[in-house]
C-alpha cells in the first residue's frame, strides 16, 4: 500500500493505479478504523479494480467546542488494517495541505445542509461537502463508498453529486453493528462501559419504531412518541433529535411511508452518537 501525504503525491499515485484499473474506488474516512469502515473497503474491493482510502480529520466539519482535538488518532493501526484489507493507496494529508493559506471556496448544499445534524451542528455539512468534493477531484474515482450510518451525510453527498455533475457512482453500504445492536462508530471509544450500556437505547428505540410499523402504525407522531419513551428510560441519554424524514430532502414526514428514514442523535456522556433505520 502506498501512502500519499500531499495532493501531488496522491495524484501521481492515482495516475499509476489508473494504468491498470478500469474502475477505481474511493473510501473516505477520518481514521480510528472499525469494522464499519472495513465493510466499505471490502465493498470497494469487490466492485473495483483498485481502492483508494483516505484518512483526514477535517477541521472544518467540527464547530468550536466539538471534539476535533480529542478525536481518536490511530494512524499506525489504521495503516496496518487498510494494508491487510488490500487498499492500494492511502491518502492521508495534513490540514495545512488541504487548507493552505488563502483557501476560501466552499460547497454549500442549501436547505438539506440545515436539517438533522446540520441543524444541531451548523456548518458541519458545508465542511463535509467541501472536503468530499475536493477528494473527488483529487482521486477522480468511478465509485465512492459511504456508510448508511451517516444518513444525512448520504443525502447531502447524493445531492452534491447530482447538482455538480460528479462523474461517479455513490455506493451506500449498510450499518455495521456490534452483536448487541450498537452501531459502530469511532466515537464509541469515548463511552465508559456504563455509558455504552445506556447507548444501546438508541438502537432499541429504532427497533421499537420498526415493530410498530410492522404492526401497521404509520403515523409519525405516535411512532416518535414510542421511540422517545424508550430513550426516556435512560436518564443518561440527552436526545438531540428523533425524526422521521424523507431520506433525500431530510424534511419531516407525517407518515412513515416506504423508504422513510428514522434518524436519531443523542449525547451519551461526552459522545454524540447517531443511528438510523430505513423503512423497508
Angle at 136 between CA 131 and CA 142, to 5 degrees: 150
Query: Judged by CB under 6 A, does residue 184 bind ligand AMP?
Result: yes
DSSP string across 154-191: HHHHHHHHHHTT-SSEEEEEPPPB-TTSPBP-GGGGG-
The conformation of residue 273, written as its DSSP 8-state character, comes to E
Site for ligand AMP in 118-147 (CB under 6 A): 146-147
Instruction: Point out which span in 4-12, 65-73, 172-180, 255-263 binds ligand AMP (CB under 6 A).
Output: 172-180
Query: Judged by CB under 6 A, does residue 271 bind ligand AMP?
Result: no
Give the chain's largest Cα–Cα span.
57
x/- mask, ligand AMP, residues 185-204, rule CB under 6 A, reads xx------------------
Site for ligand AMP in 10-29 (CB under 6 A): 29
Closest to 249 in 3D by CA, of 114, 61, 106, 107: 114
| Shortest spacing between CB 148 and ligand AMP, in angstroms | 6
Closest to 208 in 3D by CA, of 187, 236, 186, 233: 233
If residue 51 lies in a helix (H) or strand (E), which one and from where to where?
strand 50-55
Instruction: Point out which span in 1-9, 84-92, 100-108, 182-190 binds ligand AMP (CB under 6 A).
Output: 182-190
Nearer to ligand AMP by Cβ, of 207 and 226: the residue is 207
How many binding residues for ligand AMP (CB under 6 A)? Answer: 17
Tell me if residue 62 falls in helix, strand or coil: coil
d(CA 154, CA 171): 9
| Shortest spacing between CB 32 and ligand AMP, in angstroms | 7
Spell out the long-range contacts of 184-187 with Cβ–Cβ below 8 A and sequence spacing 24 or more. Answer: 184/34, 184/35, 184/36, 184/149, 185/34, 185/36, 185/149, 185/271, 185/273, 185/274, 186/30, 186/31, 186/32, 186/33, 186/34, 186/71, 186/72, 187/67, 187/271, 187/272, 187/273
| Shortest spacing between CB 215 and ligand AMP, in angstroms | 27
Nearer to ligand AMP by Cβ, of 3 and 30: the residue is 30
Query: Judged by CB under 6 A, does residue 274 bind ligand AMP?
Result: no
Nearer to ligand AMP by Cβ, of 48 and 223: the residue is 48
Instruction: Point out which span in 114-122, 170-178, 224-232, 247-255 binds ligand AMP (CB under 6 A).
Output: 170-178
Instruction: Point out which span in 177-185, 197-205, 209-217, 222-230 binds ligand AMP (CB under 6 A).
Output: 177-185
Query: Judged by CB under 6 A, does residue 40 bind ligand AMP?
Result: yes
Which residues carry out catalysis?
A: 37
Q: Which residues contact ligand AMP by CB under 6 A?
A: 29-30, 36-37, 39-40, 146-147, 149-150, 173, 175-176, 183-186
Amino acid at each position: 500500500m502506498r501512502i500519499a501525504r500531499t495532493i501531488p503525491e496522491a495524484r501521481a499515485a492515482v495516475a499509476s493505479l489508473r494504468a491498470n484499473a478500469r474502475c477505481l474506488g474511493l473510501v473516505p474516512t477520518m481514521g480510528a478504523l472499525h469494522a464499519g469502515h472495513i465493510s466499505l473497503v471490502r465493498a470497494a474491493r469487490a466492485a473495483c479494480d483498485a481502492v483508494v482510502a483516505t484518512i483526514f480529520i477535517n477541521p472544518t466539519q467540527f464547530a468550536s467546542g466539538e471534539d476535533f482535538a480529542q478525536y481518536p488518532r490511530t494512524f499506525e493501526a489504521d495503516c496496518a488494517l487498510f494494508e491487510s484489507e488490500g487498499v492500494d493507496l492511502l491518502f492521508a494529508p495534513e490540514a495545512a495541505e488541504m487548507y493552505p493559506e488563502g483557501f476560501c471556496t466552499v460547497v454549500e448544499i442549501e436547505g438539506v445542509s440545515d436539517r438533522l445534524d446540520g441543524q444541531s451542528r451548523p456548518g458541519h455539512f458545508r465542511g463535509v461537502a467541501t472536503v468530499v468534493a475536493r477528494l473527488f477531484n483529487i482521486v477522480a474515482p468511478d465509485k465512492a463508498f459511504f456508510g448508511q450510518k451517516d444518513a444525512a451525510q448520504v443525502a447531502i453527498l447524493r445531492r452534491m453529486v447530482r447538482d455538480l455533475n460528479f462523474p461517479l457512482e455513490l455506493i451506500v453500504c449498510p450499518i455495521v453493528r456490534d452483536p448487541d445492536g450498537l452501531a459502530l462508530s469511532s466515537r464509541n471509544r469515548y463511552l465508559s462501559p456504563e455509558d455504552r450500556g445506556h447507548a444501546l437505547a438508541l438502537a432499541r428505540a429504532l427497533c421499537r419504531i420498526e415493530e410498530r410499523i410492522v404492526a401497521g402504525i404509520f403515523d409519525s407522531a405516535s411512532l416518535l412518541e414510542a421511540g422517545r419513551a424508550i430513550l426516556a428510560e435512560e436518564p443518561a441519554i440527552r436526545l438531540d433529535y428523533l425524526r422521521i424524514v424523507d431520506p433525500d430532502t431530510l424534511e419531516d414526514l407525517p407518515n412513515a411511508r416506504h423508504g422513510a428514514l428514522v434518524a436519531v442523535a443523542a449525547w451519551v456522556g461526552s459522545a454524540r452518537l447517531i443511528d438510523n433505520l430505513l423503512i423497508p
